[in-house]
Structure 1
């Protein structure tokens, strides 16, 4: 193995170390990793959070982008890397071929890493929203009206979800705690409205004024309960995150009186067909120039600080790519 560096988390915290063969992990296929990214889970892993990392020492990085022996560009998102086994912050990764996704030809390695788990999760959420919406018998009649709400709008999932929805013809309402600071940025991504998160912060009635056609939720807890209560008849809400908490204090009322759908998004263990669908949506609808405008690039040392900034809420909006 070449003399390169790996980012390893031990009981004493994160450190840059000389790469050793065991850092690649186990699997039937070798990926020469060139890029990864910094997600919220990575920030937790870098802090040694036992809710994410199952054992120490571990190589973090829930994304890995690189090439196979035949130079095919591939990515691994989820499947436990950076959590249950060594992840993408190392120059070589071994993993079973069944867990590898080929990167669409429209993207290079940097872009695939900028998309990462956040973008792939956003695309899975959009796919689920459209799957429910487009299959409705009254879909052509335009019965689903009102914008699609996106919570956590300035985060990695939210930023890409807004862009994908807008590019695919959906009106978008971005929900954020930083309306004045990030309003212009969110409108540039495609949002037609920017709403203060405080409007969803307190527990409301089981059924409220119907204001949204659907929602992409990244935060869970009370905001998700309020979204379910504010979605129009037959609307769909997707749930992929728990930044506000894992609880969901709601009732069956939105489901039985308005026919609301709640679609869960699991990007870690999703079968290949769902992953391919998500990457096809990204290839079709993602504006790479916009993605570049809100993505930072760091090295392994910079990844440690980027993770800390995410946990502290000090991160610049958007994405962070790690170049190995």
Structure 2
């Protein structure tokens, strides 16, 4: 058994979680489409401004470039280019779109470890920090926008869930700091490879990031999610309605925090329900809201699945051809 297999869910548990996710997706799709006029949805999609949709598809790439640049700063591997990190981000998303349990995040960490010749645990820790920046930025965005757009019960639950997630991340980071300070790395060479991997991950999470790096990482998070909001604004305009800046911030936060709800790969179902529900809060209901959810997901899901899938396959094949490095676990099989 490889080190990575020791720290990821077993096949049985993974299958159970996938089954729960698929059932969740089916349920949310039913909620969205049960009373919908499919002809009206198709009419809204057919009448969308193609130029604005194309512009939105281009703008959303800024999200992934900014996330790649942020991850590069967090991982402190400046010898690799932003272009390389952008490719790894796309590869991870492409894997997440078709594989369960967000294994793409584990894969992109592994690819970073090989590309930068750093311990896998350090790379995994950098992905944890990278995701933490997203959560923190989105929770703040929801907190800022929620009082303006209203506070229905389900939005409050998402806000509480996001706050709880931030608290969990803070506890995890605090626990890592305490553990790394109180448990010195004695007899590291006698540990199993899995324990070394976990210790390297804990040490990376616990290591000081510095004010400048933290400020840059958070600024890039704001740029990334700001670009997502601009994309949502372009899609809404393509369908004939407009959202104010604060409404776009709200919709961005709700959808991207809400996708932590278990679902099938690619957030199918949950994404539609979150988008339709968030738009309903700001007064956009009916089939045009469903059309928005479908267009918004399509402009990132299709390109990242195609381009990211190609990158993921390339990286897996490249990793398989590399000589094994002493102390490093082999690349996981996506199957």
How high is the TM-score relative to the length of structure 2?
A: 0.26
Structure of higher RCO (CA pairs closer than 8 Å, 6+ residues apart): 2
Query: More helix by proportion, 1 or 2?
Result: 2
Which structure features the higher share of strand residues? Answer: 1
**Pair member with larger Rg:** 2
